[in-house]
Structure 1
Amino acid sequence: MAQKPSIPKGTRDFNPEEVAKRNYIFNTIRSAFETFGFQPIETPSFENSETLMGKYGDEGDRLIFKILNSGDYFKDLRRNVIDSGKFSFYFFEILNAIETKVRINSNAFNFKDFINKLLIIYKDLDEIEKTILTKFFSENENEILGHIRDKSDNKDDRLVFKQIVYFRDLFQKTYNEYINNLEFLNSKDSSLFSEKALRYDLTVPFARYVVQHQNDIEFPFKRYQIQPVWRADRPQKGRFREFYQCDADVVGSDSLWQEVEFVQLYDAVFSALNLEGVTIKINNRKILSGIAEVIGASDKLIDFTVALDKLDKIGEEKVKEEMLSKGIPEAGIAQLQPLFSLTGSFETQIQTLKTILADSAEGMKGIAELEFIDQAISELELATATLQLDVTLARGLNYYTGAIFEVAAPETVDMGSIGGGGRYDDLTGIFGMKDMSGVGISFGLDRIYLVLEALDLFPETITKTIDVLFINFGEKEALFSLKTIKQLRKNGINAELYPDAAKMKKQMNYANKRNIPHVVIVGEEELQSNRYALKNMRTGDQEKVSLETLISKVSD
Structure 2
Amino acid sequence: MAAKPSIPKGTRDFSPVEMAKRNYIFNTIRDVYHLYGFQQIETPSMEMLSTLMGKYGEEGDKLLFKIQNSGDYFSGITDEELLSRDAIKLASKFCEKGLRYDLTVPFARYVVMHRDEINFPFKRYQIQPVWRADRPQKGRYREFYQCDADVVGSDSLLNEVELMQIVDQVFTRFGIRVCIKINNRKILTGIAEIIGEADKIVDITVAIDKLDKIGLENVNKELSGKGISDEAIAKLQPIILLSGTNSEKIKKLKQILKSSPIGLKGIEETHYIISNYRKRNIDFDLSLARGLNYYTGAIFEVKALGVQIGSITGGGRYDNLTGVFGMSGVSGVGISFGADRIFDVLNQLDLYPKKAVNGTRLFFVNFGNVETAYCIPILKKIRAAGISAEIFPDASKMKKQMSYANAKNIPFVAIIGENEIAKGKVRLRNMKTGKERLVSVDELIGLLRS
TM (norm. structure 2) is 0.91
Same amino acid, percent of matched pairs: 57
Q: Secondary structure at the match of 2:312?
A: strand
- For residues 170-225 of structure 1, the C-alpha deviation after alignment (integer angstroms, 9 at most, x for no partner) is xxxx98x59xx7979816543xxx44332222112111110000001001111100
After the TM superposition, which residues 391-540 of structure 1 pair with which residues of structure 2 at under 5 Å, given as runs?
Answer: 391-396=286-291, 398-410=293-305, 412-540=306-434
- The one-letter amino acid of 1:286's match is K
Distance 2:61 2:201 in 1: 24
Change (3 A) 1:487 1:340: closer
The residue type equivalent to 2:129 in the other structure is: P
User: Per the alignment, in what secondary structure is the counterpart of residue 400 of structure 2?
Assistant: helix
Query: Conserved in 1, the CA contact under 8 Å of 2:112 and 2:325?
Result: yes
- The structure in which a higher percent of residues are helix is 1
1:104-183 equivalence runs, <5 A? 128=75, 131-132=76-77, 135-136=78-79, 177=83
Query: Superposition pairs for residues 152-551 of structure 1, below 5 Å?
Result: 177=83, 186=90, 188-190=92-94, 194-276=95-177, 278-305=178-205, 308-309=208-209, 326-328=227-229, 330=231, 338-339=238-239, 342-378=242-278, 382=279, 386-396=281-291, 398-410=293-305, 412-551=306-445
Shift of the alpha carbon at 1:49?
A: 3.4
Distance, in Å, in 2 between the alignment partners of 1:231 and 1:392 is: 24
Contact conserved, 2:206 with 2:291, CA < 8 A, in 1?
no
Amino acid at match of 2:27: N
Measured after TM superposition, the shift of residue 303 of structure 1 is 4.4
Structure 1 segment 45-64 matched on structure 2, within 5 A = 45-64=45-64
From the two aligned structures, give the one with the greater strand fraction. 2
- Report deviation, 1:288: 1.4
In the superposition, relative to structure 1, how do residues 455 and 187 fare at CA in structure 2: closer, same or farther (>3 Å)? closer
Say yes or no: does 1:33 pair with 2:41: no
Cα gap change, 1:529/1:185 in structure 2, threshold over 3 Å: closer, same or farther?
farther
Q: Which sits farther off after the overlay, 395-404 or 438-447?
A: 395-404
Structure-1 residue corresponding to 2:9? 9
**CA displacement, residues 58-107 of structure 1 (integer Å, 9 cap, x when unaligned):** 4434433333445xx35xx78xxxxxxxxxxxxxxxxxxxxxxxxxxxxx
Q: Which amino acid aligns with 1:264?
A: Q
Distance 1:431 1:68 in 2: 24
Q: Residues 266-311 of structure 1: CA distance to partner in whole angstroms, max 9, x if unpaired?
A: 10110011112x0110001111121222232223334444555566
**Could you tell me how far apart the structure 2 residues matched to 1:263 and 1:548 are?**
46
Aligned counterparts of 2:218 and 2:97: Cα–Cα separation in 1? 45
CA contact (8 A) 1:200 1:231 kept: yes
TM-score for the superposition, normalised by structure 1? 0.75
Q: How many residues align?
A: 449
Alpha-carbon offset, residue 476 of structure 1? 0.1
Larger Cα Rg: Structure 1 or Structure 2? 1
Once the two structures are TM-superposed, the CA of residue 395 in structure 1 deviates from its matched residue by 0.8
Contact 2:367 2:417 in 1 (8 A): yes
The answer to whether the 8 Å contact 1:38/1:223 transfers is: yes
The unaligned stretches of length 5 or more in structure 2 are none
CA distance in 2 between counterparts of 1:44 and 1:340 reads 39
Q: Deviations over 1:134-193 (max 9, x none)?
A: x35xx5xxxxxxxxxxxxxxxxxxxxxxxxxxxxxxxxxx98x59xx7979816543xxx
| Distance of aligned partners of 1:19 and 1:365 in 2 relative to their CA distance in 1, 3 Å threshold | same
Change in CA separation of 1:224 and 1:340 when aligned onto 2, cut-off 3 Å = closer
SS in 1 for 2:180: strand
List alignment gaps of at least 5 residues for structure 1. Answer: 79-127, 140-173
Could you tell me how far 1:415 is from its partner in structure 2?
A: 1.0
